[in-house]
């Protein structure tokens, strides 16, 4: 089943023609409308009119998360704000989250692309789709919502959290498709078990999971315990959100919607293209975005491209499942967090010193996040009310700004390991 | 999808000393209506004249049915099946309507011409009954809309596979424009003609087009399905005469 067969199955020759035309128009637009790109091209003495082939894209500069942050909030928008109908956000490396915008046309195209991913994952208009991803500034909830409505499915916009209620609604509304993070799917499976509900008491058929790395054993466990067919999908807010790539039922990699995104794989260190088929950092250029086009965006996600034809008939190349990150970004319960962000927020409270360690683990199937913080030397740890105040202030600050509930623990001064070079800030004990 | 009937890749064209067309890539598939829109001096007419062989491109690729068109003389281009209906219609005023049409068959071989002069002429009269009514009248006495129909009919006499239409709505009343555009749509639907349409009246053009390209100072700024362009705020503000603040 295809959503837009004429696009998804077009010949590579036709695709490259469309990609070049769209790339050239996008470059003309950003050079005219976005001062950041105009200046960047001028600084590098680069004439975007000289981009005459898809390979020429390599001559263009990268856009990084730092660039997006430096232009907070609207500096990279290519249309006036009055043409923007939606704003979403994603966590930044420090401090404020980055803002992305969509025109009416962007929202329409976004819906179509998510509809493709949903269709590839087996969702049809007859499905009852439970979207247990966070609705809000995060692109996941609304992204899938619009795509599922576009298909004509019945959408349950339940958002994330409250597992018992999720299960009740899943049973009562006879949900047939589940959309959430893979770890949350397993958490729901645990909840089912604790409630004594068997998988055959559910009507679930398929599940689409993403927003965090997962593995084949996790897939098998989800499929087995929920009695569904599970597919992986990929999105990143700075580029669009969900709808960038998704697995078909062959489940041998995620088809990238290449008529709307130009994908490259580069060496994360040198920025040079890696040999075909090798793993590196995924770099994406938007080909049709109006409000927030990005040129060669460094996603930070590691993957490789699969060019062999897929049995499903789609001609779009696939990206392998993302095994991890090129940078130090952490994904905690589907939320993106940079250690630098945690540090900045903690120091802002003025209560603690920059000696801390983030410990990630899994309790059951959900991530747990703990921060060990050294108490200031001057501080007398036996004053319990004082330490409670520090812990509570830091915890609240992180929860409000990052949306992650860290457990904060004060430890004695000079007890955390000091290394010669970069401090080992993160201990990740999670296994997939 | 088959290979495009007409494909331009990285085309640069100078009009005198002006760099009128800058690295334009666009394509038209068999049976498609593609609109090329943009303001005055955007490079639309230069682009069309380059395709029909009136101007040589400075750089880039220009192909029709996979063969290189760049540098071919205009009459060779017509013989390949690409007919250009120029801006301002340019009918031969003192000649009768029928003679104007017959002239359109000049590029055909003798045998094809004989056939065209009987069958095609009859079919064109059927399509445009007003031309039949006025077949003996001097073309110069026709109204603007009728002259446009005559210009299109004359181009059809060359038995083209694709029509290049330059501002068919220019100087015509809105109702007449609608009529002309309905005819263009009909040519595609009944004859399977492929159409590349240059038009300042962006709304009328996009309503019948499948896809469109927006040219600005010689560059393609926006491209996509016609429906998307009609809804695009940039296009609306610049070419559809809609003020967003109202």
pLDDT in tens, B113-135: 898 888 899 999 999 999 999 99
Whether residues A303 and A337 fall in one domain = no
Q: Do A29 and B222 touch (CB under 8 A)?
A: yes
Q: Do A17 and B7 touch (CB under 8 A)?
A: yes
Q: Do B27 and A21 touch (CB under 8 A)?
A: yes
CA angle B7, B8, B13 (to 5 degrees): 155
Given the DSSP bridges, would you call strands A254-256 and A261-266 parallel, antiparallel or unpaired? unpaired
The CA distance from B150 to B135, in Å, is: 10
Pick from B1, B26, B224: CB nearest A10: B1
A322, A302 contact by CB (below 8 A) = yes
pLDDT of residue B243: 46
**CATH code at A392?**
3.30.300.30
Q: Chain B contact for A8, CB < 8 A?
A: no
CA distance A166 to chain B (A): 38
Q: Do B27 and A32 touch (CB under 8 A)?
A: no
Q: Which of A327, A358, A383 is the last residue of a domain?
A: A327
* B191 C-beta neighbours (distance < 10 Å), count: 16
Pick from A32, A82, A108: CB nearest B244: A82
CA distance B230 to chain A (A): 10
Q: Do B221 and A28 touch (CB under 8 A)?
A: yes
Whether residues A239 and A138 fall in one domain = yes
CA distance A7 to chain B (A): 10
Pick from B3, B224, B231: CB nearest A104: B231
CA distance A258 to chain B (A): 15
The CA distance from A78 to A37, in Å, is: 10
Cβ-based contacts of B7 with chain A (< 8 Å): 17
What residues make up the domain containing A350?
A: 331-428
Buried b (16+ CB within 10 A) or exposed e, A360-377: beeeebbbbbebbbbbee
Better-predicted residue by pLDDT, B1 or B134: B134
Distance of alpha carbon A407 from its chain centroid, rounded? Answer: 24
A415, A374 contact by CB (below 8 A) = yes
Q: Chain A contact for B220, CB < 8 A?
A: yes
Retrieve residue B64's tokens.
């029709």
CA distance A56 to chain B (A): 13
Q: Please, which residues have CB within 8 angstroms of residue A200's CB and are 6 or more apart in sequence?
A: A227
Whether residues A360 and A222 fall in one domain = no
Whether residues A46 and A90 fall in one domain = yes
Retrieve residue B34's tokens.
């593609």
The total domain count for chain A is 2
Retrieve residue A329's tokens.
């970004």
Buried b (16+ CB within 10 A) or exposed e, A108-142: bbbbbbbbbbbbbbbbeeebbbbbbbbbebbbbbb
Helices A104-120, A139-151: axis angle to 10 degrees equals 70
Q: Which residue has the tokens 């247990």?
A: A132
Cβ-based contacts of B22 with chain A (< 8 Å): 49
CA distance A189 to chain B (A): 43
Report whether pLDDT(B150) > 60. Answer: yes
pLDDT of residue A418: 66
Cβ-based contacts of B218 with chain A (< 8 Å): none
What DSSP character marks residue A174?
A: T
Q: Which residue has the tokens 């003679």?
A: B99
**CATH code at A218?**
3.40.50.12780
Whether residues A350 and A321 fall in one domain = no
Q: Which strand (E) or helix (H) includes residue A408? A: strand A407-411
The CA distance from A77 to A101, in Å, is: 7
Whether residues A312 and A339 fall in one domain = no
Cβ-based contacts of B224 with chain A (< 8 Å): 288
Pick from B4, B9, B23: CB nearest A49: B23
The CA distance from B234 to A77, in Å, is: 14
Provide the sign of the torsion angle of the four alpha carbons A373, A378, A381, A383, taken in this order: negative
Retrieve residue B231's tokens.
């809804």
Tell me whether residue B43 is exposed, middle or buried, using C-beta atoms within 10 angstroms of its C-beta: 0 to 12, 13 to 18, 19 or more. Answer: buried
B29, B2 contact by CB (below 8 A) = yes
Mark the ranges of chain A whose per-residue pLDDT is less than 50.
Answer: none
Whether residues A182 and A291 fall in one domain = yes
Whether residues A365 and A306 fall in one domain = no
The CA distance from A399 to A385, in Å, is: 21
Whether residues A108 and A175 fall in one domain = yes
pLDDT of residue B246: 37
Q: How confident is the model at residue B244 (pLDDT cuts 50, 70, 90)?
A: very low
Cβ-based contacts of A78 with chain B (< 8 Å): none
Retrieve residue B10's tokens.
């990285």
pLDDT of residue A67: 95
- Among left, alpha and beta (phi > 0; psi -120 to 50; other), residue A396 is alpha
Helices A12-33, A35-43: axis angle to 10 degrees equals 100
Structural Rg of chain B based on CA atoms: 18
Cβ-based contacts of B220 with chain A (< 8 Å): 21, 24-25, 28
| Complex confidence, ipTM | 0.92
Report whether pLDDT(B229) > 50. Answer: yes
Q: Chain B contact for A47, CB < 8 A?
A: no
> Percent of chain B, pLDDT > 90?
74
Whether residues A22 and A150 fall in one domain = yes
pLDDT of residue A157: 98
Q: What is the DSSP string of chain B?
A: ----SEEEEEEEEEETTEEEEEEEEEEE-TT-EEEEE--TTSSHHHHHHHHTTSS--SEEEEEETTEE-TT--HHHHHHTTEEEE-TT----TTSBHHHHHHHTTTTS-HHHHHHIIIIIHHHHHHH-HHHHHTTTSBGGGS-HHHHHHHHHHHHHTT--SEEEEE-TTTT--HHHHHHHHHHHHHHHHHH--EEEEEES-HHHHHHH-SEEEEEETTEEEEEEEHHHHHH-HHHHHHHS---TT-
pLDDT of residue B140: 94
Q: Do B23 and A6 touch (CB under 8 A)?
A: no
Better-predicted residue by pLDDT, A374 or B140: B140
A111, A146 contact by CB (below 8 A) = yes
pLDDT of residue A382: 66
CA distance B232 to chain A (A): 7
Q: Which of A274, A305, A327 is the last residue of a domain?
A: A327
Q: Chain B contact for A104, CB < 8 A?
A: yes
Q: What chain A residue is nearest to B26 in terms of C-alpha separation?
A: A21
Q: What is the pTM of this model?
A: 0.90
Q: Do B25 and A21 touch (CB under 8 A)?
A: yes
Question: What are the structural domains of chain B?
Answer: 6-87+154-239 (3.40.50.300)
Could you give the strand order of the β-sheet that contains A324-325, starting from the edge strand earlier in sequence?
A261-266, A280-286, A297-303, A324-325
Whether residues A270 and A343 fall in one domain = no
Pick from B4, B9, B221: CB nearest A25: B221
Whether residues A235 and A354 fall in one domain = no
pLDDT of residue A364: 82
A34, B38 contact by CB (below 8 A) = no
CA distance A398 to chain B (A): 40
Q: Which of B222, B229, B214 is nearest to A293 (CA)?
A: B222
Q: Which of A327, A350, A367 is the last residue of a domain?
A: A327
A-B interface: how many C-beta pairs under 8 angstroms?
A: 58
Cβ-based contacts of A24 with chain B (< 8 Å): 23, 25, 220
């Amino acid at each position: 089943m295809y959503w837009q067969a004429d696009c998804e199955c077009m010949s590579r020759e036709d695709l490259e023609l469309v990609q070049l035309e769209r790339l050239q128009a996008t470059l003309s637009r950003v050079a005219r409308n976005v001062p950041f790109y105009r200046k960047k091209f001028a600084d590098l003495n680069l004439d975007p009119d000289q981009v005459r082939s898809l390979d020429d894209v390599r001559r263009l500069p990268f856009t990084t998360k730092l660039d997006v942050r430096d232009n907070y909030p609207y500096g990279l928008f290519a249309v006036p704000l009055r043409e923007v109908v939606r704003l979403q956000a994603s966590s930044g490396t420090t401090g404020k989250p980055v803002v992305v915008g969509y025109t009416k046309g962007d929202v329409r195209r976004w819906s179509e692309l998510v509809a493709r991913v949903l269709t590839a994952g087996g969702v049809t208009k007859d499905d009852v789709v439970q979207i247990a991803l966070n609705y809000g500034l995060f692109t996941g909830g609304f992204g899938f919502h619009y795509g599922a409505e576009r298909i004509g499915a019945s959408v349950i916009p339940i958002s994330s959290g409250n597992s018992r209620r999720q299960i009740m609604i899943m049973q009562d509304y006879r949900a047939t498709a589940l959309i959430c993070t893979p770890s949350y799917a397993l958490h729901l499976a645990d909840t089912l078990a604790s409630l004594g509900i068997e998988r055959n008491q559910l009507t679930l058929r398929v599940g689409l999971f993403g927003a965090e790395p997962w593995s084949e054993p996790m897939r098998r466990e989800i499929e087995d315990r929920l009695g569904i067919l599970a597919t992986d999908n990929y999105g990143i807010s700075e580029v669009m959100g969900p709808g960038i790539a998704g697995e078909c039922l062959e489940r041998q990699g995620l088809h990238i919607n290449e008529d709307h995104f130009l994908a490259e794989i580069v060496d994360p260190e040198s920025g040079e293209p890696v040999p075909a088929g090798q793993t590196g950092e995924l770099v994406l250029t938007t080909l049709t975005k109006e409000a927030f086009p990005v040129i060669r965006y460094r996603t930070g996600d590691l993957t490789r491209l699969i060019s062999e034809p897929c049995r499903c008939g789609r001609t779009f190349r696939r990206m392998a499942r993302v095994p991890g990150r090129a940078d130090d970004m952490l994904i905690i319960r589907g939320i993106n967090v940079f250690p630098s962000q945690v540090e900045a927020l903690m120091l802002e409270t003025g209560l603690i010193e920059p000696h801390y360690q983030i410990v990630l683990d899994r309790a059951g199937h959900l991530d747990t996040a703990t921060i060990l913080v050294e108490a200031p030397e001057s501080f007398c740890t036996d004053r319990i009310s004082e330490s409670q105040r520090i812990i509570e202030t830091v915890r609240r600050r992180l929860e409000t700004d990052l949306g992650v509930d860290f457990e904060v623990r004060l430890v004695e001064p000079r007890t955390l390991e000091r290394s010669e070079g970069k401090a080992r800030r993160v201990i990740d004990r999670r296994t997939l | 999808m088959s290979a495009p009937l007409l494909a331009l890749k990285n085309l640069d064209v100078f009009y005198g000393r002006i760099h009128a067309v800058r690295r334009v890539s666009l394509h038209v598939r068999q049976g498609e209506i593609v609109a090329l829109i943009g303001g005055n001096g955007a490079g639309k007419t230069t682009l069309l004249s380059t395709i029909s062989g009136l101007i040589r491109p400075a750089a880039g690729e220009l192909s029709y049915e996979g063969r290189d068109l760049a540098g071919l003389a205009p009459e060779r281009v017509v013989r390949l099946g690409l007919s250009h209906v120029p801006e301002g219609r340019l009918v031969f005023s003192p000649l009768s309507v029928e003679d104007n049409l017959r002239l359109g068959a000049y590029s055909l071989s003798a045998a094809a011409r004989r056939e065209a002069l009987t069958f095609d002429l009859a079919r064109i009269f059927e399509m445009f009954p007003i031309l039949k009514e006025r077949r003996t009248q001097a073309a110069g006495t026709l109204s603007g809309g009728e002259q446009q129909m005559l210009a299109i009919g004359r181009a059809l006499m060359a038995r083209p596979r694709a029509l290049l239409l330059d501002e068919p709505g220019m100087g015509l009343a809105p109702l007449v424009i609608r009529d002309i555009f309905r005819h263009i749509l009909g040519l595609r639907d009944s004859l399977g003609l492929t159409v590349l349409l240059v038009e300042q009246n962006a709304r009328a053009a996009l309503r019948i087009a499948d896809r469109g390209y927006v040219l600005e100072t010689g560059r393609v700024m926006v491209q996509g399905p016609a429906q998307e362009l009609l809804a695009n705020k940039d296009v609306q503000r610049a070419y559809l005469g809609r003020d967003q603040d109202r």
